[in-house]
Amino acid sequence: MDLAALFSASGPLARAFEGYRVRVEQIEMSQAILGAIRESKTVVLEAGTGVGKTAAYLVPSLLEGGKVIISTGTKALQDQLFHRDLPAVRDALAVPVKTALLKGRSNYLCWHHLDRANQDATLLASRQEVKDLGMINRFIHLSPTGDKAECPSVPENASIWARVTSTRENCLGSECKHYNECFVMKARREAQDSDVVVVNHHLFFADLMLREEGVPELLPNAQTIIFDEAHQLPDTATLFFGETLSSAQLLDFLRDALATGQAQARDAAHWPDLLAPLDRATRDLRLSFGPTLQRLAHAQLGADHPLVPTLNRLREALFAVREVLESQAERSPELNQLNRRANELSQNLLAWGAPERADQPELCWVDVGSHGIQLHRTPISVADVFKRQRLGLQADQDEHGEASPDDVEAESSSALYAPGELPQEPQREAPPKRAWIFTSATLAVKNNFDHFTQGLGLDDAQCASWSSPYDYPAQAMLYVPTGLPAPNHADHTQAVVDAALPLIEANRGRAFILCTSLRAVGKATERLKQVFQERDWPFPVLQQGDAPRPTLLEDFRRAGNAVLVGSHSFWEGIDVKGDALTLVVIDKLPFAPPDDPVLAKRLELLEKNGGNPFMEHQVPQAIIALKQGAGRLIRSETDHGVLMIGDTRLIDRPYGRRIWQSLPPMKRSRVESEVVEFLLTL
């Protein structure tokens, strides 16, 4: 396989793609991936904007053969990869590989739950749900996939979807009478038969950890696993390696128990009365905290917190329901499955607040959000467990598949052997040979990957980095205004907006203002609208939350002079090329909130082990997030623009140098007139 020829100016990719450019960085990255595939190695590869990392991993993985799993950060990127990038590269190379797109089960219509919704009108909460259900009934008989994304007549966020799709908890599995025609099973079978399967990180970890009953797993059949947007993996792994019990899960259970109980076990109990205490206790969870959205560690609650008696009532009510379901479980698959759900909910409820397990530090904490309460039991480090899963090891095996010395010694001391007789080592399967490829534009801090690799237990990984091929000194300028108040000052957001106004005027709008909190988004939007109205500036102001993200982006591009204000969801995965976006304003350095209980616990343990929590964890995290936000500005060889960061810590704090040195090598200025002049020349 001559990768240099494939990526050359006369190669198949150049013939297939208009405006194709040869990039040495892309060829070198592709060669590193080819080596990893052939040698079943683990590699961590950072590729700056414009390197072309998607083609860099697709070309060797498609041509080398074997089953490939590609995991992306979001469903939007998953769709883009499957529907656009993957077919384009496959067709250019003319390789006959079969591909499959696999999403989480909540994306596929469920025949069983659709039947139940059709049969019991009391499950529908509004006339709109009745209307949406009618459209779904027509759609399901026309769709070969059952993917709700293919039903545009019903909005993606419509409440009806929760009633006609399944979750892991309420799926009947092989006991379902629709099992053979199940859309989830069809998608899984197609993935099993395909050469390349495109998933997202959440689905990958769900498949890795949950091992859903009766469903063949993807991982054992794969020779190559590629994580795109790999910087998101530590947070995703933490979510799936922990345990969560939510008020939404309990309300779903209540709804299903009432419908199934009354339909199939009416003689066993008066179901409304049986479920009423559980319903009250579930709703009291939210009332325990009042209107404030917050995150609290279990230790912060205190013995007199209202949540404590609420949880006691919840346990008692759930146990009462579980007893009835246990006595009725054999009457139908639905009742048996409800009994399993009740047991799982009870176990998670008992585990929350219990002492930490000895084998790894954990934290019990509560998330009080706009959609209800979530009780989490979260591992503080996922490095060990992810390493075992990645290498296919049992809990008592080392990275070579051997039993650990402690376990061998324990086995030997528990038995007696005749003189001269040697204990026989138990038969253990060798760890599977796979290539693991982790790639993103933001993984390293000044070419140091320790923060990422240590967080995921990738101590065996080979790391490499390629800078962006774009001419940043000529194309972009970094501007940090002078005289701004401290980031924690009440007037900081308004001061940042005011400092950006001369730039917005010179730039004729065409700006993103990226904030580190939703509160700042609201303040910035209010200030912009006030000033634009006073000065009669013709720039539309678009605010995150006013419409779905794709709609806002389309409105932004179409307007040609808009200012879009957004928070975290606009910091990455956004690609606006050309003159539509030539100014990106970031309000402050994106340090994680200090009151986040998981972060606080991690920092506490790091300090206890002699580390420097701020420099070893918080600064690297902020750098990676800042690089993502800054990456929205320059998206092609012809792009130009200004990155303004409204946080003087970048200049006047010792760690600031480390942060800005991790950004692309732009011109730098603190003089407003220089920046305005640069924008006026664009």
Q: Are 224 and 434 in contact (CB under 8 A)?
A: yes
Residue 650 predicted with pLDDT over 70: yes
Strands 583-586 and 641-645: parallel
Cα(481)–Cα(48) distance, rounded to whole angstroms? 26
Residue reference for tokens 């949880």: 311
Sheet strand arrangement including 541-543:
541-543, 563-566, 511-514, 583-586, 641-645, 476-479, 667-669
Residue 113 predicted with pLDDT over 70: yes
- Give the pLDDT mean for 517-526: 96
Structure tokens at 407: 């376990």
Q: Residues 6 or more apart from 28 whose CB is under 8 A from it? A: 466
CA 127 distance to own-chain centroid? 34
Residue 296 predicted with pLDDT over 80: yes
Kindly state the helix (H) or strand (E) to which residue 676 belongs, with its residue range. Answer: helix 672-680
Residue 630 predicted with pLDDT over 80: yes
Strands 99-101 and 42-47: unpaired
pLDDT, averaged across the chain = 89
> Nearest-5° angle of CA 115, CA 120, CA 126?
105
Could you please report the per-residue DSSP string of 122-179? GG--SHHHHHHHHHHHHHHTT-SS-BGGG-TTS-TT-TTHHHHB--TTT--GGGSTTG
| Phi and psi at residue 199, to the nearest 5° | -125, -175
- Give the pLDDT mean for 518-544: 96
pLDDT tens string 560-595: 999 999 998 899 888 899 999 999 999 999 998 877
Structure tokens at 230: 């790999």
Residue 422 predicted with pLDDT over 80: no
Give just the sign of the alpha carbon dihedral 203, 207, 213, 219.
positive
Could you please report the per-residue DSSP string of 297-354? EHHHH-TT-THHHHHHHHHHHHHHHHHHHHHHGGG-HHHHHHHHHHHHHHHHHHHTTS
pLDDT tens string 440-487: 999 999 889 999 999 999 999 999 999 999 999 999 999 999 999 999
**In the prediction, which pLDDT does 420 show?**
43
> Which of 49-63, 286-300, 353-367, 517-531 comes out lowest in average pLDDT?
353-367
**In the prediction, which pLDDT does 358 show?**
64
Of the pLDDT bands very low, low, confident and very high (cuts 50, 70, 90), residue 156 is confident
Higher per-residue confidence, 278 vs 211: 278
The alpha helices in 168-306, defined as continuous H runs, are 183-192, 201-210, 233-241, 247-264, 271-287, 298-301
Cα(276)–Cα(254) distance, rounded to whole angstroms? 9
> Which of 325-334, 383-392, 642-651 comes out lowest in average pLDDT?
383-392
**In the prediction, which pLDDT does 402 show?**
53
- Give the pLDDT mean for 18-30: 94
Q: Are 605 and 383 in contact (CB under 8 A)?
A: no
Q: Are 69 and 166 in contact (CB under 8 A)?
A: no
**In the prediction, which pLDDT does 116 show?**
86
Cα(31)–Cα(672) distance, rounded to whole angstroms? 44
- Give the pLDDT mean for 397-412: 45
Task: Report which residue type is found at 59.
Answer: V
Cα(56)–Cα(28) distance, rounded to whole angstroms? 9
First to last CA, the chain: 43
Structure tokens at 405: 């010395």
Determine the longest span between alpha carbons in the chain, in angstroms.
97
* Residue 581: closest CA among 636, 535, 527, 618: 636
pLDDT over 90 percentage in the chain: 72
pLDDT tens string 121-155: 666 778 888 899 999 999 999 999 999 988 988 88
In this prediction the pTM is 0.89
Higher per-residue confidence, 158 vs 398: 158
| Phi and psi at residue 266, to the nearest 5° | -60, -30
Q: Assign 230 to helix, strand or coil.
A: helix
> Nearest-5° angle of CA 236, CA 242, CA 246?
95
Residue 394 predicted with pLDDT over 70: no
Of the pLDDT bands very low, low, confident and very high (cuts 50, 70, 90), residue 399 is low
Residue reference for tokens 């909910």: 345
* Residue 120: closest CA among 273, 249, 250, 264: 264
**What own/partner pairs with CB < 8 Å and gap ≥ 24 does 270-277 have?**
274/320, 274/321, 274/324, 275/321, 277/313, 277/316, 277/317, 277/320
Q: Which residues pair with 377 in a beta bridge?
A: 243, 364
Q: Residues 6 or more apart from 437 whose CB is under 8 A from it? A: 33, 36, 37, 42, 43, 45, 57, 224, 225, 226, 227
| Phi and psi at residue 500, to the nearest 5° | -85, -15
Cα(243)–Cα(356) distance, rounded to whole angstroms? 13
Q: Assign 596 to helix, strand or coil.
A: coil
Q: Are 469 and 51 in contact (CB under 8 A)?
A: yes
Sheet strand arrangement including 99-101:
99-101, 196-200, 68-72, 224-227, 435-440, 42-47, 462-466
Q: Are 209 and 219 in contact (CB under 8 A)?
A: no
Residue 260 predicted with pLDDT over 60: yes
Structure tokens at 8: 């050359």
Cα(198)–Cα(178) distance, rounded to whole angstroms? 26
Q: Are 102 and 79 in contact (CB under 8 A)?
A: no
Of the pLDDT bands very low, low, confident and very high (cuts 50, 70, 90), residue 675 is very high
**In the prediction, which pLDDT does 75 show?**
82
**In the prediction, which pLDDT does 405 show?**
42
C-alpha dihedral (575, 581, 583, 587), degrees to nearest 10: -50
Of the pLDDT bands very low, low, confident and very high (cuts 50, 70, 90), residue 390 is confident
**What own/partner pairs with CB < 8 Å and gap ≥ 24 does 429-433 have?**
429/392, 429/401, 430/401, 431/391, 431/392, 431/393, 431/397, 431/399, 431/400, 431/401, 432/220, 432/392, 433/40, 433/223
| Phi and psi at residue 360, to the nearest 5° | -160, 145
* 3-state percent breakdown (helix, strand, coil) of the chain, nearest 5: 50, 15, 35
Query: How many Cβ atoms sit within 10 Å of the Cβ of residue 332?
Result: 16
